[in-house]
Amino acid sequence: MDMTLESCRTFVEVLASNAPAPGGGGAAALVGALGTALGNMVGSLTVGKKKYADVEAEIIALKAKCDDLQKELLDQVEADDKGFVPLAKAYGIPKDDPNRDQILEEATVVACQVPMHIMELCCEAIDCIAVFAEKGSRLAVSDAGCGAVCCKAALQAASLNVFINTKSLKNRETAEALNAKANGMLEKYCALADQIFTTVKAGFGQ
């Protein structure tokens, strides 16, 4: 079942239940989509305003990119569920099965792929939000700040879904490569999201 087609209330209720999905990865994808949409809203409120005519083409292009990011992030809610299925099945293989370790290792790598992609999408969204915050409508700049905060949270949440899996990988070279990629995104884009938040907040004299 694609949980993004359900109501917000149903999503939250299922998330709080003992159902295997959605979980942290799916929630991160949804929060990332919401954050992206908040930035995109600033773009929507900027286009068509004479005051921002000189940046309109750039904002329109960013809006188109964010439309795609929103959709792709929402797609990751279901993708995260499907990506976990092989791992869940692998854990069910008897421990005396000689193929168990290899199947488990491969399934663990697969389980890292969706949360890693969620992280990548959130990074792209934060880059876009930085422009919306700088050049978009001043009347909606708080929404750009909110979007940055949401995307940062989604980025961090998705990273934990990478790290819980890399910890159990027997191939430490693969694990460390994945960890390095995730940590690189966290270092750069958490800082950028914090910068957006601080700048927006300072604009309100706070």
CATH number at residue 190: 1.20.120.680
Read off the pLDDT of each residue in 157-184 and give the average, rounded to a whole number.
Answer: 97
Within the chain, residue ranges assigned H as helices are 8-16, 24-46, 56-91, 100-135, 141-166, 172-202
Rounded to the nearest integer, the mean pLDDT of the chain is 96
The reported pLDDT for the residue numbered 125 is 98
| Local confidence band at 205 (pLDDT 50, 70, 90 cut-offs) | very high
Tell me what pLDDT residue 29 has: 98
User: By residue range, what is the domain housing residue 81?
Assistant: 22-201
Peptide bond into 22 cis (omega under 30): yes
Asked if the structure places residue 6 within a domain, the reply is no
Q: How confident is the model at residue 24 (pLDDT cuts 50, 70, 90)?
A: very high
What CA–CA distances, in Å, run from 5 to 2, 14, 77, 115, 148? 6, 13, 11, 20, 25
Residue 28: pLDDT above 80? yes
Report the domain count for the chain. Answer: 1
**What's the average model confidence in pLDDT over 146-172?**
97
Whole-number pLDDT of residue 179: 98
Rounded to an integer, what distance in angstroms lies between the CA atom of residue 1 and that of residue 19?
A: 12
Residue 45 lies in a domain: yes
The arithmetic mean of pLDDT across residues 137-152, rounded, is 98
On whether residue 171 sits in a domain, the answer given is yes
Task: For residue 110, tell me if it sits in a domain.
Answer: yes
Give yes or no for a contact between 36 and 66, defined as CB atoms under 8 angstroms apart: yes
Whether residue 7 lies inside any domain: the answer is no
Q: For a pLDDT cut of 90, what percent of the chain falls above it?
A: 92
